Amino acid sequence: MGLRHQMTAAGGTGCLGSVVSARGRANGIFAAPGTHRVHDPAIDRVQKARAIAGAVTTFLLISVYGVDGGWSGVFEDGFTKVFVAPLVLLLVGPLVVAAFIWYAPPQHRALLRSRLRHPLKAIGWYLGVPAGALAAFFGLSVLAKALQQHAVLQLLVYLVVLVVGIPLLVWAACFLFFASGAAARYAFNTADVHASLPAILTAVLVWVLSFVQLGDGLPNGPLAVKIAAFLGGPLSVTAVSCWELHILRTRHGVRIRG
């Protein structure tokens, strides 16, 4: 289904239609099964269990020791991370992927580079949809102001803004929200380059985010609790990522240099 059709659906079915349409498009781009992606139910279960354990641990720590800004600050921080994680991934991801391809045997590098079109397409959607929507909206707004001497034309442009521009922004905002979570989880479809890349990128991403968050200070509580809270998340994610690489190697024959 094309982008123009998605935008039309957003405008014709209202806010709920925008949410459903944007979610479907985001999942279709970032969560669709890829040619080289390996799906293992055991990996999914362990990842979900680690996420639940992390959420419960965070809840208990905050309940016992509190947090600056209260629970509203926790929700705001979690909402912010939804968008920060893909942006950090866009910055560090190319370095990790380049190092991965360099580490691969020489005879495999050309093939891996040829598969980069899959994550590049995902990045293009992630950046292009909000940028295009904003450009179209502000372009129509500027055009409307330039037509102050032509009341009828100006009215038509404002009508286009109301009927097309605003629904377009709503759809793009919904798409960006759903795409951010999927892009971080599937590492911008880098599994289509090599099945091991998402696990490696996840481990790198969690450490980068942890050190970025360190700028806000350590969690409340005794020193031992602060250190455990800071290291617990990235260490557990790294452990799961290493286990995932082991499963990919032993069950599915996926090797980093294979």
| pLDDT by 10s per residue, the chain, length 258 | 444 444 444 444 466 777 889 999 999 998 877 777 888 899 999 999 998 998 898 888 888 877 766 666 667 777 788 888 999 999 999 999 999 999 999 999 999 999 999 899 999 999 999 999 999 888 888 888 888 878 888 889 888 888 888 888 999 999 999 999 999 889 999 999 999 999 999 999 999 998 888 877 777 788 888 888 889 999 999 999 999 999 999 999 998 876
Calpha distance 217→38 (Å, rounded): 38
Token pair for 172: 């793009």
pLDDT value, residue 82: 83
Question: What is the torsion angle, in degrees rounded to the nearest 10, for the CA atoms of residue 179, residue 217, residue 207 and residue 45?
Answer: -60
Task: Tell which residue, 256, 123, 128, has the closest CA to residue 187.
Answer: 123
pLDDT value, residue 12: 44
pLDDT value, residue 14: 60
The answer to whether 257 touches 105, Cβ cutoff 8 Å, is yes
Task: Tell which residue, 258, 184, 182, 208, has the closest CA to residue 95.
Answer: 208
Phi-psi region of 14 (alpha: psi -120 to 50; beta: other; left: phi over 0): left
Token pair for 112: 């891996």
Calpha distance 169→140 (Å, rounded): 12
DSSP string of 2-13?
-HHHHHHHHHHH
